[in-house]
Amino acid sequence: MASAVSIPSSSQPEPPMVHASNIFSIKELAESKGDSSLIPSTYHSISQLHHDDDDDDAEYLASSIPVIDFSHLTSHHPQTHTKAVQLLGKACAEWGVFMLTNHGIPEKLVEKLMEKSGEFHDLPIEEKKEFGDNKSPLEPIRHGTSFCPQVEKVHYWRDYLKANTFPQFNFPHKPPGYRDVAYEYSQKIRGLARKLLEGISESLGLASNSIIESTEFDSGHQVFVVNMYPPCPQPQLALGLPPHSDIGLLTLLTQNGVGGLQVKHHGKWVNVNPLSNSITVILADQLEVLSNGRYEGVLHRAILNNEETRISVVLVNGPALDKEIGPLAELLEKEKPLFKSMKYQDYFQFQQRTRLDDKNTLYEIRLN
C-alpha cells in the first residue's frame, strides 16, 4: 500500500521525462525499466507526504466501511427489506461507498473475468493497437494509458480497456472467450445496479421506480473499464489514478485480490479492503445531482505497490445518454436545487476530455 514520500537528494540522477501520449502501455514501460528505481518525473503525481498506513484511525475507518446484504434488500419479508433500505440510505449519506455481499454473481464467473482481463493486458502491443484510444470518449472500445494525456500535467501508472456495453454491447474479440464472460458479467451487474437504485429511491422517501424512470436507466449507458496497475518502482511518488469522483449513477468494482483503492472519508484516505466475494459500490456524480446533494459521490483514488500487478474491473452504470439530468422534482418541492440540469452525454464527454481532478466536472454545474 502507500508509504511516505522520500524526497530524492540532489546527488541522485534526474529521472527522465516521458509524455504518456508517446507510449502505448505503462505495462511495457514498467517492464522495460527492469530493476531501475527511477520512474519518469512526469509520473510524480504525489505532491504531499502521507502516512495513512500508520494511522490507527484510518485502519479503524477501513473496518467501518458499510456492508449491504443484497439478499436482504431484495427480500420479500417487509421488515427485512425495510431495514436493508435504511442501512443502504445510511451508507449512501455517510460514506458514498459500501460493499455488497450475497449478490448472486458466481465466484467462478468473477475468477474467469479476472483471468481473461489479465490475458487481454498481456497481449502483445501489436494485437491491441486496433483499440488504441485516440478517438471520441464515446468510441465503442478504447485502450490506452493514464487518463487523458493530452491535458494532464502529470500522468498515472495505469493501462485501461474501456468498452461501452449497454445499450449496445461492444467488446474486444480477443483473447478467446473474453467477450462472452464480459457480456454475462455486464448483464448481471446491470441487474444489481437496477435493484440498488430502487432501494436508494426508497431510502430517499420516493417510489422505488423514481430514479429508474427519471434517468431512463433501462436504456442507460454502461461502460466496462478494465484497469491494470503494474508494479511501480517508486509507488510513494506516483498514483494509478488521482482523487476523483465518477460519472454516472453507480460504479460497481471488483479486483484481483491486490489492494489499492482508497476513499476519502472525514478528510482521511481510507483503504478499501473488500470482503471475500463482495462487490464495491461507489456513488457517482449523477446520483449526487439527482438526490440534490443528499447522497454525495465519494472521492477515491488508486495507489500503487512495487511488487504485484493490480487489476480492477469497474462498471459505470449511468442514465440514458440523451437524458437531461437534474435534481429530482419530488425533492425540489421543499428545497432549492443545488445543481443545474445537463444532458448526460455532454457531461460524460466533458469529464472524459478533462484533466481528472477532484470533483471539478461536478463543480461546473453546481449552483452557488
> Does 9 map to a domain?
no
> Does 33 map to a domain?
no
Instruction: Flag whether pLDDT at 50 surpasses 80.
Output: no
> Does 11 map to a domain?
no
Among 349, 321, 66, 20, smallest CA distance to 168 is for 321
pLDDT digits (tens, 9 = 90+) for 79-91: 999 999 999 999 9
Cα distance between residue 351 and residue 192, in whole Å: 25
Look at the chain and report how many structural domains it folds into.
1
107-122 vs 178-203: helix crossing angle, rounded to 10:
120
Instruction: Flag whether pLDDT at 1 surpasses 50.
Output: no
Q: Please give the residue range of the domain that contains residue 79.
A: 43-364
Cα distance between residue 251 and residue 90, in whole Å: 18
Cα distance between residue 206 and residue 228, in whole Å: 39
How much is the pLDDT for 32? 77
| Choice between 201 and 145, residue whose per-residue pLDDT is larger | 201
pLDDT digits (tens, 9 = 90+) for 153-209: 888 999 999 999 999 999 999 999 999 999 999 999 999 999 999 999 999 999 999
% of the chain exceeding 70 in pLDDT: 89
Question: What type of residue is 288?
Answer: E
pLDDT digits (tens, 9 = 90+) for 315-337: 999 999 999 999 999 999 989 99
Give the Cα-Cα-Cα angle 161, 138, 144 (nearest 5 degrees): 30
> Does 297 map to a domain?
yes
> Does 244 map to a domain?
yes
Cα distance between residue 105 and residue 108, in whole Å: 9
Confidence of residue 16 (pLDDT cuts 50, 70, 90): low
Instruction: Flag whether pLDDT at 248 surpasses 70.
Output: yes
Per the CB < 8 A criterion, the answer to whether 161 and 142 are in contact is yes
> Does 211 map to a domain?
yes
- For the chain, the distance separating the N- and C-terminal CA atoms, rounded to the nearest angstrom, is 38
Confidence of residue 45 (pLDDT cuts 50, 70, 90): confident
Mean predicted confidence (pLDDT) in 245-251:
96
Mean predicted confidence (pLDDT) in 94-118:
97
Q: Which residues pair with 19 in a beta bridge?
A: none
Q: Which of 101-105, 125-129, 229-233, 276-280 has the lowest mean pLDDT?
A: 125-129
How much is the pLDDT for 358? 72
Own/partner pairs, 350-354, CB within 8 angstroms, 24+ separation? 351/247, 351/285, 352/137, 352/148, 352/247, 353/137, 353/148, 353/151, 354/148, 354/151
How much is the pLDDT for 121? 95
> Does 306 map to a domain?
yes
pTM equals: 0.91
Mean predicted confidence (pLDDT) in 262-274:
94
CATH at 199: 2.60.120.330
pLDDT digits (tens, 9 = 90+) for 197-240: 999 999 999 999 999 999 999 999 999 999 999 999 999 999 99
pLDDT digits (tens, 9 = 90+) for 64-80: 999 999 999 999 999 99
Query: What rounded mean pLDDT belongs to the chain?
Result: 89
Cα distance between residue 187 and residue 193, in whole Å: 10
**91 burial class (0-12, 13-18, 19+ CB within 10 angstroms)?**
buried
Q: Which residues pair with 153 in a beta bridge?
A: none
Per the CB < 8 A criterion, the answer to whether 304 and 228 are in contact is no
Cβ neighbour number for residue 121 with a 10 Å cutoff: 19
In 7-115, beta strands by DSSP E = 67-69, 97-101
**50 burial class (0-12, 13-18, 19+ CB within 10 angstroms)?**
middle
> Does 22 map to a domain?
no
| Choice between 149 and 121, residue whose per-residue pLDDT is larger | 121
